[in-house]
Amino acid sequence: MRVEFELRWPISADLALIRELIRSHGERGGLTGERLEGLVIAVNEAVTNVLDHGGKAGMVTALDTGDGVIVDVLDVAGLLTHEHLRAARVDPTASHGFGLWVIQHVCDDVVLQRSAQGSLLRMRVDRPLAAACRSAVVVGKVIRRGERPAHPSRTKPGLSVPLTEV
Amino acid sequence: MGALWQPALPAVPARPSSAMLGLTHQHLPRMSVIAIAGEADRTSCEQLADYLGRVRRPGDHVVVDMSRLSFLDSSGLHVLLLCARTCADDDARVHLAAAHGAPARLLEITEVSAHLPVHDTVEQAITAILNGIPRT
């Protein structure tokens, strides 16, 4: 029987502290190396977006799934939309959308839920073994892993790939 | 190379207030070597931008020593890319060196090496500039 561990932390401007909490939670969830770094990067970007473009308030919740870690970042203002996620580009000259693009590339899954409580960005990073199994199952069923937008160097300009919508 | 370039002194305490980066620089022929210590995020990216703008001499290439940079977010990377654009105006480049951990991961996923030269060590970056190795 595994012991579930959950972290809840209100969003504040102390990003260094939030990164530290997420890093230790990720380690507890079995993440290491680039997957752990990716989780920290993604959560930092999501919280930064709440501070810079959202309501500046919300909650970070981290859960251990057994296969890895899920982190929810809630923006109480609810300003983040699916269109923002779709439009995200790695554009060195643009100051917007870069962070959202990064989030979608370091996570195994990103889902946006919008409700009266605000917009909730759910980011999942799997442990390496779980990620490998999942990708094998996905390939076996011939389900495309195209939920994340491709890097612009590998895709046509302006092409956007739909993200999972809830 | 060792005679020309001396590693900068540690510039940041173990648990800095997240607001400040430790920034040091050395001027070498044709280049400014800038060492960033700490965590570059939305809180500190303005400090980084100011420093780069102030320290770089016109025409200088920039070597960014990331060996003591423990975090880099998209806003920090944005600052480095804007600096690269400024450098391009006088035929110079920004070379990123010695990234590890989260900063290295960010450089990897954003495929920054398609835009900027990325080196394993500061010495390699300096050598590349001195040798004038052409890169795309």
CA atoms of B40 and B101, how far apart (whole Å)? 13
Cα distances from B117 to residues A64, B37, B62, B121, B131, in angstroms, run 38, 20, 11, 12, 14
> Percentage of chain B with pLDDT > 70?
83
Please check whether residue B57 touches A, CB under 8 A. Answer: no
Check: CB of residue A104 under 8 Å from CB of residue A110: yes
Please check the confidence at residue B128 and state whether its pLDDT lies above 60. Answer: yes
Contact between chains at B77 and A98 (C-beta distance less than 8 A): yes
- Can you tell me the mean pLDDT for B87-101? 97
Flag if A44 and B71 touch (Cβ within 8 Å). yes
Q: Is the pLDDT of residue B113 over 60?
A: yes
Structural domain containing residue A19: 5-165
Name every chain B residue with its beta carbon within 8 A of the beta carbon of A52. Answer: 42
- Residue B15: predicted pLDDT: 46
Coil, strand or helix at B49: helix
Measured between alpha carbons, how far is residue A144 from residues A54, A96, A129, A138, A165 in Å? 32, 28, 20, 7, 16
Count how many domains chain A has.
1
User: How many other β-carbons are positioned within 10 Å of the β-carbon of residue B22?
Assistant: 17
pLDDT of residue A95: 60
Residue type, B105: R
Stated length of chain B: 136
Closest C-alpha among A138, A150, A145 to residue A164: A145
Q: Tell me: the pLDDT tens digits for B35-83?
A: 999 999 999 999 999 999 999 999 999 999 999 999 999 999 999 999 9
Q: Does A37 touch chain B (CB under 8 A)?
A: yes
pTM for this structure? 0.82
pLDDT at A99: 92
Which stretches of chain A score pLDDT less than 70?
1-5, 92-96, 136-166
CB A93 within 8 A of CB A120: no
Top-confidence residue, A90 or B114: B114
Residue A23 and residue A39: Cα distance in Å, rounded?
8
Q: Do B41 and A15 touch (CB under 8 A)?
A: yes
pLDDT of residue A94: 64
Q: Which residue has the tokens 């975090």?
A: B71
From chain A residues 52-91, the ones with a CB under 8 A of any chain B CB are 52, 90
Q: Give me the percent of chain B exceeding a pLDDT of 90.
A: 81
What residues of chain B, 94 to 123, have a C-beta less than 8 Å from chain A?
101-102, 104-106, 108-111, 114-115
How confident is the model at residue A166, as a pLDDT? 38
- Find the CATH number of the domain harbouring A134: 3.30.565.10
Handedness of CA B53, B15, A33, A140 (dihedral sign): negative
C-alpha span between B27 and B91 (Å, rounded)? 18
